[in-house]
Amino acid sequence: MKIRVGFGYDVHQFSEGRDLWLGGIKIDYERGLKGHSDADVLVHVICDALLGAANLRDIGFQFPDTAGEFKDIDSKILLKRTVALLQEKGFSIGNIDATICAELPKLNPYIQEMKCVLARVMGIDEEDLSIKATTTEKLGFVGRQEGIAAYATVLIEK
């Protein structure tokens, strides 16, 4: 058995007039995130970590923001395609540990639904997906509520 790990980091700034999508679900909040797709920073970071672990570069390489087909796309579609790319190389997901950094909105009430939705998209058990939320104690761009950051570490197996 071959085991590989991957790490991802992503940020998106807040934007007026957009819906806030995180972890594959719409969050009730006054601002969304800026991006070519739906800007779901949590899904993007999971994609990046998975792609990196499988040596498939990153989300920008696989799904470039210069391609019209990805404009305003639901990031769950990108995640599903990412999992398919891994499967083509013979990999399966062992587990994922992800952290969302945001001052607002408070995300704890949404974590279980995010886990349910994303586990279903990836075809894994919810037990194999950890999602945590934290703040930056009002420090940096996240602390100033200019955007949201996310990190993910993944383990894949062949």
Binding residue numbers: 10-12, 36-37, 44, 58-60, 134-137, 141, 144
Question: What would the 3-class secondary structure string for 31-91 be?
Answer: CEECCCCCCCHHHHHHHHHHHHHCCCCCHHHHCCCCCHHHCCCCHHHHHHHHHHHHHHCCC
Residue 40 CA to residue 72 CA, distance in Å, equals 11
List, as residue ranges, the binding site for a divalent metal cation.
10, 12, 44
